[in-house]
Structure formats: structure tokens, C-alpha cells
Chain A
Amino acid sequence: MNAVLAVIRRDLLLAMRRKSEVFTALFFFVIVTSLFPLGLGPEPALLKKIAPGVIWVAALLATMLGLSRLFAPDHADGTLEQLALSPAPLGLLITGKIAAHWITTGLPLVLMAPVLGLQYDLDAGALGVMVAALLLGTPLLSLIGAIGAALTLGVRGGGVLISLLVLPLYVPALIFGAGAVEAHLSGLGAAGHLSLLAALLALAVFFAPWATTAALRIALE
């Protein structure tokens, strides 16, 4: 457990030392969501309708941005080998790395989303549902993304390939995440969507680190 905490702490420390990566993803998120009204016109009813979808798609893309850097630096400088040789199980250490990835990319998006929601004229209730959905959904994005990052590690054109592999797998998260806000807005209640998101998250927590670890072992050989 100590080793896992050490991995998380080190990754957070590294993110602190190269802040630009964290802020790039965050500002990408802000800029993309701000571009939609410019393309579609400022009509509040329309914006309110598309807000959940726009914010979620922007969150998907912002998460994708840094994914190829999730394991690549550790692979290049040999740290990944040392992780694999640690007495602690590699799967746990990788879970730690994914957790750190979420804290540095997913969590800032969650915190920034309400501000962007205001731009789209969402009310307090809808904002609350959106934050809840993102809170459940962004770890899912990090977990699934880690599989893609591990599979494309050290592969030609890995950065582009990763989006090809990962984006189709993001579909359920997108549907339930954006759907939660829409369901709330249409008066149906978001509970169903949120519990399905939570179920997907539980499944991914169990399955994704395993697949990621298997893929990393292949890359290490």
C-alpha cells in the first residue's frame, strides 16, 4: 500500500513541477466549450439543450490529450521496469498511476465544469447533476484511457492510434453522462443514469487495471 501511495505522490509531484500539461488540458476544455456558442449562435434555449453534450464531448477530448503521456515518460526512462520489479503487485501500482492521472486531469475538469455550465445557462440543479455525473464519469475515462495508453506504448503513431482505440469505448460514459443532465432537465430525474455510470465505474475499476497491466507487461518484454 505504501508503494501505491508513493506512486501517487510522485506523479502528483511531477505534475506540480510541469504544470503546463495540467493547464493545457484544462484550457483546451474551456476553449472547446466556448467555441460552440460561437459556431451555433447565442440563443439560450438551444445552448441549454446542447450544453450537456458539448461539455461531455469536450471532457472526453481533454482527457484524451494527455493520455499518451500517461506511461510514455516512465517507459522511456526505465521507471516502468522498476515498477514491474517492485515487490508490490504491478496492478496496484498502475491503479495508483491512474488515480494520479484522474486527480491531475479529471478532477480539474469536474471543478471547472459548473463555470462553463453557467455560460450555457444551466440552473443550479442541472449544474449539480452535471458535477455528479462528471465525478463518476471522469475516473471512468481515465481507467479506459489507461488501457489504450498501455496498448499503444512505444508504438508507431501511438498518439493518434490511442484516440481510435479509446473513443469508441467512451461511448457508454458519454451517453450516460450527458444523458443524466438531459434527463434532469426534462424532469425525468437523473438517478437512473447516475447509478448506471456508477455501475460502469465499478466494472472499470475491477477490469481496466488488469487489462492495462497485461498490456504494459507486453510492452516491457
Chain B
Amino acid sequence: MSNRLINWFRYASPQSFYPLAGKLIPWFWALAALFGLTGLYIAFFVAPTDFQQGEGYRIIFIHVPAAWMSMFIYLVMAFWAGLGLALNTRLSGMMAQALAPTGALMAFLSLWTGAFWGKPMWGTWWVWDARLTSALILFFLYIGFIALQAAIDDARRADRAGAILALVGVVNVPIIYFSVKWWNTLHQGASVSLTKAPTMAATMLWGMLIMALAFWMYSIAVALMRVRAIILEREAHTEWVKALPEVRGSTS
């Protein structure tokens, strides 16, 4: 038990995490491709045409996984941020920083595809639905996090300020969602309800779950690549980074 614990802490240092991440990245890319291709095959060729929504509904195979990931990544980001604040580990802050752009991308994708889905379904690009509105605010929260980190020069200060913002955000996300939902029910007449869940064909559900796995693997792969870049940038002055073959090759 204690052995395993020590092992884990070993990987909390950027120096040992860097090669580990390097080894893991191809695997996550391979899994992302595998799940992605399977998911898309199901989405386009296996899943039946929806009798109400026609072919247009197929965008949910992108839309729903993106929306799930955008929320999930914020939680993971806040988790790393909190860990970094509590334990003062350098890697946690880097992880949070690496996850933010992917999270923002997912939030943006879910909004964008939501608009594409909305146009043929309800004849409008945007409705002030509770979920759409919450997704929009989540997107703003990501942008705020990224902007705050970008505005602070000192990396450690940026990490810690970002961590506080992420924690404040994570407390607020449920409150915001609840308040938007409350607001939405009060103004029910003006908007279209998206909450009705038509019985979904089993293949649709499978396709969506496999696409979600693909998005998951993609997010991990991209976050690991970004974390490696951040490690190189921040630890550029250390001996071990200078000794890396890829760094030596590029500077000589």
C-alpha cells in the first residue's frame, strides 16, 4: 500500500510525469481514433433515421458528448486546482491550465452544434433554454479562467489565482444551473422545451456512449500533450529539461 502511494507521488513531479505522459499519449490517440471511428460508423450507418427529426438529429452524436465533456472537464479542472492549492504541487496547476482550453472548446462545440441542431428542429438558431443558457455561462467561466491565467506573468501565482477562480466557479455552476432553470420555468411560454426525452433507439444510445468515450480519450490525449508543453516551458531552466533529446536537438 505504502509502496503504491510513493509511486503515485513520484509521478506528481513534472520531471517523472513528462516521460510517462509521452508514453501514454499515443495510446490515448489510438483509443480516441478507435472509439471515434466506431462511434461515427454507428452514428451514420447503424442508427436509424429518427421518425420525428429526420437525418438532422445525427448531430447529437457530437453535441451530447461535447456537452457532457464540457461539464466534466470543469469538474476535473477544479479538482486539480483544489489539489494544487491544498498540497502545493506544481503539476496540479499545470493540469488545470492544460485542461481549460479543451473544456472551453467542448463548451463552444456544444453551443455551436446545438445551434445547428436547433435550426432544422425548431427553426431557430438559439433558444433561451435552461441548458443552452447554462452552457453559455459555463463557456464564459472557461474564458474567464483562461484570461486570468494568461494575464498573470508569474506561473505559480497564475496557478493559484486560477485555482481559486475554478473553485469559486465550481460552487457556482450548480447555483447558476438551478437559477437558470428556475428562470426558464417562469418564462415557459416564450421558449421551446427541450426536456422531453423521446424513447431513444438502443443503437442511438450506444453510438452516443461510444462517441463520449472517443471525446474522453481525445481530451486526455490533448491535455497530456499540452501539459508536456507547459512543463517544457516552465522548467526550461532546469538541467533535466536541457538534457532532453528533443530540447537539445532544437537548440543546437
Binding site for B on A (CB under 8 A): 147, 151-152, 155-158, 161, 164-165, 167-169, 171-172, 175-176, 179, 182-183, 196, 200, 207, 211, 214-215, 218-219, 221
Contacts and interface: CB of A to CB of B under 8 A. Distances in A.
13 contacts: A152-B148, A155-B148, A155-B151, A165-B144, A169-B168, A169-B172, A171-B180, A179-B182, A179-B186, A182-B186, A200-B175, A207-B168, A207-B171
B31 interface: no
Nearest to A183: B186
Most buried by A among B169, B176, B180: B176
Given A172-B179, A182-B186, A183-B186, A161 B164 contact: no
A179 to B, nearest CB: 6
Interface residues of B, number: 29
A104 to B, nearest CB: 24
A164 B179 contact: no
Most buried by A among B144, B147, B153, B171: B144
A160 to B, nearest CB: 9
A164 B147 contact: yes
Given A151-B148, A168-B176, A215 B161 contact: yes
Interface SS of chain B: helix, strand, loop or mixed? helix
B180 A175 contact: yes
Contacts of B137: 168, 171
Most buried by B among A164, A196, A215: A164
Nearest to B167: A211
Most buried by A among B148, B167, B180: B148
Contacts of A151: 148, 161, 164-165
B209 interface: no
A218 B151 contact: no
- 4 nearest interchain CB pairs? A172-B179, A168-B140, A165-B144, A175-B183
A171 B161 CA distance: 22
Most buried by B among A172, A196, A200, A221: A172
A205 to B, nearest CB: 14
A200 B224 CA distance: 37
Contact of B183 (A165, A179, A211, A215): A179
B242 interface: no
B143 interface: yes
Contact of A218 (B144, B160, B169): B160
Contact of B152 (A155, A182, A183): A155
Contacts of A207: 168, 171
A219 B161 CA distance: 8
Contact of A147 (B157, B168, B182): B168
Interface in B119-144: 137, 140-141, 143-144
A219 B153 CA distance: 12
Contacts of B183: 175, 179
Contacts of B152: 155-156
Contact of B164 (A156, A164, A176, A218): A218
A176 B144 contact: no
A157 B168 contact: no
Given A179-B182, A182-B186, A168 B168 contact: no
Contacts of B164: 147, 151, 211, 214-215, 218
Given A218-B164, A221-B157, A161 B147 contact: yes
Given A168-B137, A171-B137, A211-B168, A157 B179 contact: no
